[in-house]
Amino acid sequence: MAYGEWELKPWHEIPVGSIVPEAGSSKVNKTGSWRMLRPVLNYDKCTHCLICWIFCPDDSIPVSPQERFETDFEYCKGCGICAVECPYNALEMVPEMEVKLKELEEQLG
Amino acid sequence: MAQKKVIALTGNQAAAEAMRQINFDIAAVYPISPQTELMGFFAEYVANGEVDTEMIAVDGEHSAMAACIGAAAAGARVITASAGPGIAYMVENLYVASGMRLPIVLLDVNRALSAPLSIHCDHADSMLTRDSSWISLFSENAQEAYHNIIMATKISEKALFPIIVNYDGYIVSHSIEDVEILDDETVRNFVGPSDIHRIPYPLLDIKKPVTYGATAQPDYYTECKYQQHVDFLKVYDIVREVFDEFAEIADVKYDFIEEYKTDDAEYIGISMGSSFGTLKDVVDILREQGKKVGAIKIRLFRPFPVKEVAEALSKAKGVAVLDRADSFDGIGGPLFKDISTAVMMSQNRPFIHNFIYGLGGREVKEEDFLKAFDRLERLEKGIETRDRFVEYLQVRE
Amino acid sequence: MEFVKLETKLPPKEYRSDLEPTWCPGCGDFGVVTALTKAFSEEQFDPTALSVVSGIGCSSRLPLWMNAFGLHTAHGRALPAAVGIRLAKPEIPTFVTAGDGDIFSIGMEHFPHAARKNFNITLVVMDNRMYALTKNQTSPTSRRGYKGSLNPYGNIEEPMNVITFAIASGATFVAQSYSGNPKHLAETIKAASEHKGFSFVNVLSPCPTFNKIDTFKYYKGRTIDINKELGHDPSDMKKALELASHALDADNPELQDAEPFKGKVPIGIFLKVEKETFEDKVAKLKEQFMAPNGEPNWDEILEKYRP
């Protein structure tokens, strides 16, 4: 179990020629660990226009027709495109380390 | 029973005839001597509408193999041909083709590598491919080249590995000899129709889209290569099977190696390609002198017939491995190392010495091989000594 | 960097080796040898400090006939090999002599980049519009319908306009000449070798053995000098591109009366502009970053990495 839920297949179960036989295989490749900067959403500014969802290259922004939900940090690489494209400046790119440290502090009390 | 006719053909003409009969879907071509003539003959068949083949003139051998990879992944039956430096330029894509497990036929009209520039025959080009997990067959003459191409198509598609058919540049490719040609129908029935589902994951199967050549991270690469390793070992049985099937239509029973008077032989010479005829003549000459000698030809070069070679050499006292290429590694020629590894399988390990001959088209004469047998015998009996495994025949001092 | 030159002029024959060319009688490439030796003589190049590099093909045998350092490389790799010489010995003039198959087909990955980077190389392409050494196959410059041994049905591809391509790639000197016009050829090659930067001369060089269309007879009276007859100014890149775009008009029977060449094949210098060469840029970089005494200041460098 190297990458999240990606189960490593034994050699004889790999398709001949090491091909990838099904679509959506990027789903198992959780790219969130690459993130250096984290898009932090200011819900007060967000109008749910969904422009960030259109531009996100990793499809990491879950939405309903009316609402933008919190970014999916299992896949978000922190590219910052959403922050640039947001017409309301509702997203701020914060160093991941700061966020992690803050979380740790909270945990430790 | 198959209809046969004997006609006089050059090696290149015989190969073009096999290509016409198999009726490949795609042929990628780039000119290089001595291969160009072959594709020239085939181009006439294309121009006359005698085949359904789409012929693409590409911009270099690297592109030729890339075109073959694309076409084969799409599900087509493909062929290309090259020689010497052209094969060298192709090497990167050879590994791609075998890693993707695509059936492709590559005709290697053996030619020396530069520098110095030589357009003539030796096996250095083919030796570049020996670790690429391509199946490799060597042909002694035009007849064998013709047969090998037909068998190769089937072997490659059964094994899902690409295959190289080697025949010597100029010596075979441009010499005219009698070739027994099978009728078109027999050949086409033997190789079967070209359907995209001959391979497990054709790109043109739009209902089942796949990705070829994706990245494998360190957690997968080993498994991918191990699968290739295990499957390549299965090639022996597939080759044997196809050889047997072919015997039914052509009345020629091929084997991984060809033995000549080896039953009671004390000294055995081993070669590949066109020089085997000369080697057999030398065996006859020495037999007349009362010497117990024999000869072995390697037909299936990759995967290497380790067991068969070990068995054939198990009773010999001395073996002369005749390499038409040098490895420049302080050990010996490529074939020498393969043979040496093979005899590790058997209890009786004969004395082995390596001779390099016929580089860059140097003509091979009986006296050259007589010299090799003579030196081998002296070394084996301890009359002479050696300080290295490999010696050049035919060098002007 | 300036090239090594002799103080006195050597006669052109001093630049020829003892070997006699093994080309077929009547080959257009003989004219290129003569023009090159003339240019070498005029430029007072030193045969012991002069390199001629080639790839594979009939025309690529040219370095053998020259009294200069010759490098016969792999098919298509003449330009990168020459680049190696340029970087190692920038004071040695470097000529690349190759054919259309070598430069525009298998070696095409190098041509635009050598031009773009502006190495001080003179590239002379002997363009016979087919592969001759392998006995008549179509090359990227073969005209449409040309019958080679690999396509007896005639070439279905369009030929490449190499003049336009060279200009677009950023070559600083682009010219076309014809080996049946020795005076023009010698002048063009001389101008190319004088030029500082990547200079490309496409020499229309008929193959009498295989190519029965683009022959001396075909070119006779069919060339037009763009500089002398049409008054083209080589410093005008826009005009050069426009003229170059018509370079293959003569192939097309429908364009026999079309402007600007009226069915003729253009020869002459299309483009000549000055740009800094790669070698000069390398030399400048060295000057910029190397300490005056040749030793870098290690303390200063290490200081950047100290926390």
Backbone angles phi, psi at B120, to 5 degrees: -95, 180
The whole-number pLDDT of residue A4 equals 43
The whole-number pLDDT of residue C289 equals 77
CATH of the domain at C278: 3.40.50.970
> In this structure, is residue B397 part of a structural domain?
no
**B chain contacts of residue A4, beta-carbon cutoff 8 Å:** none
The whole-number pLDDT of residue B302 equals 94
Contact in structure between C278 and C86 (CB atoms under 8 Å):
yes
* A-interface mutation test, from B197, B201, B204, most A Cβ less than 10 A away: B201
> In this structure, is residue C245 part of a structural domain?
yes
The whole-number pLDDT of residue C286 equals 83
Cα–Cα dist C280/B183, whole Å: 67
Q: How far is B18 from chain C (nearest CA, A)?
A: 17
Pair (B232, B123) in one structural domain: yes
Pair (B267, B208) in one structural domain: no
The whole-number pLDDT of residue A65 equals 87
Q: Between chain B and chain C, are at least 3 CB pairs below 8 A?
A: yes
Instruction: Calculate what percentage of chain C has a pLDDT beyond 70.
Output: 100
Q: How far is B223 from chain A (nearest CA, A)?
A: 4
Pair (B75, B158) in one structural domain: yes
Q: Between chain C and chain A, are at least 3 CB pairs below 8 A?
A: no
Report residue B237 as tokens.
């049985």
The whole-number pLDDT of residue B196 equals 87
- Indicate the residue type of B198: R
Pair (B131, B15) in one structural domain: yes
Contact in structure between C48 and C101 (CB atoms under 8 Å):
no
Chain A contact for B101 (CB, 8 A cutoff): yes
> In this structure, is residue A9 part of a structural domain?
no
Which region, left, alpha or beta, applies to residue B76 given φ > 0 means left and ψ of -120 to 50 means alpha? beta
pLDDT for residue C18 is more than 50: yes
With vertex at residue A84, the alpha carbon angle to CA A83 and CA A88, rounded to the nearest 5 degrees, is 70
Verify whether the Cβ–Cβ distance B160 to A16 is below 8 Å. yes
Cα Rg of chain B, angstroms = 21
Of chain A residues 43-82, which have a CB less than 8 A from chain B? none
The whole-number pLDDT of residue C83 equals 96
The whole-number pLDDT of residue A2 equals 39
With vertex at residue B199, the alpha carbon angle to CA B195 and CA B202, rounded to the nearest 5 degrees, is 80
Pair (B67, B175) in one structural domain: yes
Chain A contact for B211 (CB, 8 A cutoff): yes
Report which of C164, C168, C173, C161 is spatially closest to residue C123, judged by C-alpha positions: C173
> B–C: how many Cβ contacts below 8 A?
56
b/e per residue B242-269 (b: at least 16 CB within 10 A): bbeebeebbeeebebbbbbbbeebebbb
CATH of the domain at B319: 3.40.50.920
- Contacts (Cβ under 8 Å, ≥6 apart) of B184: B21
> In this structure, is residue B230 part of a structural domain?
yes
> In this structure, is residue C40 part of a structural domain?
yes
Annotate C191-260 with three-state secondary structure: HHHHCCCCEEEEEECCCCCCCCCCCHHHHCCCEEECCCCCCCCCCCHHHHHHHHCCCCHHHCHHHCCCCC
Pair (B137, B214) in one structural domain: yes
Point out the residue among C134, C150, C151 whose CB comes nearest to the CB of B33.
C134
CATH of the domain at B9: 3.40.50.970
> A–B: how many Cβ contacts below 8 A?
58
Q: How far is A33 from chain B (nearest CA, A)?
A: 16
Q: How far is C259 from chain B (nearest CA, A)?
A: 33
> In this structure, is residue B339 part of a structural domain?
yes
Range of the domain at C128: 12-305
> In this structure, is residue C254 part of a structural domain?
yes
> In this structure, is residue A100 part of a structural domain?
yes
User: pLDDT tens, B170-221?
Assistant: 999 999 999 999 999 999 999 999 988 888 899 888 888 899 998 898 989 9
Cα–Cα dist B143/C98, whole Å: 39
Cα–Cα dist C215/C175, whole Å: 20
Higher pLDDT, A22 or B170: B170
> In this structure, is residue C4 part of a structural domain?
no
Cα–Cα dist C102/C125, whole Å: 9
**B chain contacts of residue C75, beta-carbon cutoff 8 Å:** 32, 60, 85, 89
Residue C160: is it exposed, middle or buried by C-beta count within 10 angstroms (0-12/13-18/19+)?
Answer: middle
Residue B344: is it exposed, middle or buried by C-beta count within 10 angstroms (0-12/13-18/19+)?
Answer: exposed
Counting as contact any 3 or more CB pairs under 8 A, the partners of B are A, C
> In this structure, is residue A71 part of a structural domain?
yes
**B chain contacts of residue A18, beta-carbon cutoff 8 Å:** 99-100, 213-214, 216, 220, 224, 227
The whole-number pLDDT of residue A3 equals 41
Locate tokens 């085997």: which residue? B276
Overall domain count for chain C: 1
Point out the residue among B43, B59, B115 whose CB comes nearest to the CB of C106.
B59
DSSP-assigned beta bridge partners for residue B27: B55, B79
Question: Which segments within C25-137 are labelled E, that is strand?
Answer: 51-54, 69-72, 94-99, 121-127
Counting as contact any 3 or more CB pairs under 8 A, the partners of C are B
Verify whether the Cβ–Cβ distance B219 to A2 is below 8 Å. yes
User: pLDDT tens, A59-94?
Assistant: 899 999 889 999 999 999 999 999 999 999 999 999
Give the model's confidence band at C187: pLDDT under 50 very low, under 70 low, under 90 confident, else very high: very high
Chain B contact for C144 (CB, 8 A cutoff): no
> In this structure, is residue B296 part of a structural domain?
yes
ipTM of the complex: 0.86
**C chain contacts of residue B57, beta-carbon cutoff 8 Å:** 137-138, 150-151, 157
Overall domain count for chain B: 2
Q: How far is C153 from chain B (nearest CA, A)?
A: 6
The whole-number pLDDT of residue A1 equals 34
pLDDT for residue C240 is more than 60: yes
Overall domain count for chain A: 1
DSSP state of C144: T
Pair (B234, B281) in one structural domain: no
Sign of torsion over alpha carbons A21, A22, A24, A27: negative
pTM over 0.90: no
The mean per-residue pLDDT over the stretch C93-99 comes to 96
Single residue among B218, B250, B282 that ends a domain in this structure: B250
Point out the residue among C74, C150, C153 whose CB comes nearest to the CB of B29.
C150
Q: How far is A101 from chain B (nearest CA, A)?
A: 30
- The SS3 assignment for B319 reads strand
Verify whether the Cβ–Cβ distance A18 to B216 is below 8 Å. yes
Locate tokens 């050699």: which residue? A11
Report residue B162 as tokens.
């690409």
> In this structure, is residue A4 part of a structural domain?
no
User: pLDDT tens, C57-87?
Assistant: 999 999 999 999 999 999 999 999 999 999 9
The whole-number pLDDT of residue B347 equals 87
* A-interface mutation test, from B98, B104, B211, B234, most A Cβ less than 10 A away: B211
> In this structure, is residue A2 part of a structural domain?
no
Range of the domain at A64: 31-108
Question: Mean pLDDT, consecutive 10-residue segments, chain B of 397 residues?
Answer: 89 97 96 94 94 93 96 95 96 97 97 94 96 97 97 97 97 96 96 90 87 90 96 97 96 95 96 96 97 97 96 95 96 96 91 97 96 96 95 94
The whole-number pLDDT of residue B24 equals 96
The whole-number pLDDT of residue B1 equals 60
Pair (B210, B332) in one structural domain: no
Q: Beta B300-302 vs C121-127: how paired, if at all?
A: unpaired
Q: CA nearest A2 in B: which residue?
A: B219
**B chain contacts of residue A16, beta-carbon cutoff 8 Å:** 101, 160, 200-201, 227, 231
- C143 CB neighbour count, 10 Å cutoff: 20
The whole-number pLDDT of residue B85 equals 96
Q: CA nearest C157 in B: which residue?
A: B57
User: pLDDT tens, B115-154?
Assistant: 999 999 999 999 999 999 999 999 999 999 999 999 999 9
Contact in structure between B40 and B13 (CB atoms under 8 Å):
no
Contact in structure between C59 and C205 (CB atoms under 8 Å):
yes
With vertex at residue B251, the alpha carbon angle to CA B247 and CA B256, rounded to the nearest 5 degrees, is 45
The whole-number pLDDT of residue C274 equals 96
Chain B contact for C290 (CB, 8 A cutoff): no
Point out the residue among B40, B61, B117 whose CB comes nearest to the CB of C150.
B40
> In this structure, is residue C143 part of a structural domain?
yes
Verify whether the Cβ–Cβ distance B30 to C76 is below 8 Å. no
- The SS3 assignment for A17 reads helix
CATH of the domain at A78: 3.30.70.20
Cα–Cα dist C204/A54, whole Å: 55
Pair (B176, B246) in one structural domain: yes
Point out the residue among B101, B226, B230 whose CB comes nearest to the CB of A17.
B101
Own/partner pairs, B285-289, CB within 8 angstroms, 24+ separation: B285/B366, B285/B370, B286/B370, B286/B373, B287/B261
Single residue among B250, B267, B287 that ends a domain in this structure: B250
Report which of B103, B82, B42, B40 is spatially closest to residue B169, judged by C-alpha positions: B82
Contact in structure between B176 and B9 (CB atoms under 8 Å):
yes
> In this structure, is residue B319 part of a structural domain?
yes
Verify whether the Cβ–Cβ distance B200 to A10 is below 8 Å. no
Pair (B138, B99) in one structural domain: yes
> In this structure, is residue A22 part of a structural domain?
no
Range of the domain at B266: 257-392
> In this structure, is residue B328 part of a structural domain?
yes
Report which of C121, C213, C101 is spatially closest to residue C162, judged by C-alpha positions: C101
